[in-house]
Amino acid sequence: SAVYAATLVANGRRVAVKVVPRVNAHARELLRRELSFMCTTRHPRLCELLGRVALDQDAVGVVLECMEGGSLD
């Protein structure tokens, strides 16, 4: 997967977008578990899950809070 910096058009908020390929059923299940965990867990060192979007048949974009002080590399 790759992570990109972006800005939400609606409110100008800086976000991180993690692009995750949907390569097989196992990868989809891992993504489902990760998103489920993020929806139910709050911690100062974990990014907040803001949403997700289907990019195409082969990838999904996970929209996350952009935390300052780190790198997307």
pLDDT digits (tens, 9 = 90+) for 2-44: 899 999 999 999 999 999 887 788 888 888 898 899 889 888 8
Give 64's pLDDT tier (boundaries 50, 70, 90). Answer: very high
Please report the pLDDT score of residue 70 as a whole number.
63
Which is nearest to 51 in space by CA: 59, 42, 62?
A: 62
φ and ψ of 41, to 5 deg = -120, 135
Instruction: Specify whether the CB–CB gap between 15 and 63 falls below 8 A.
Output: yes
Could you tell me the CA-to-CA distances from 55 to 7, 45, 69, 72 in Å, in that order?
A: 17, 27, 28, 20
Alpha carbon of 19 to those of 2, 7, 53, 59: distances in Å? Answer: 5, 15, 10, 7
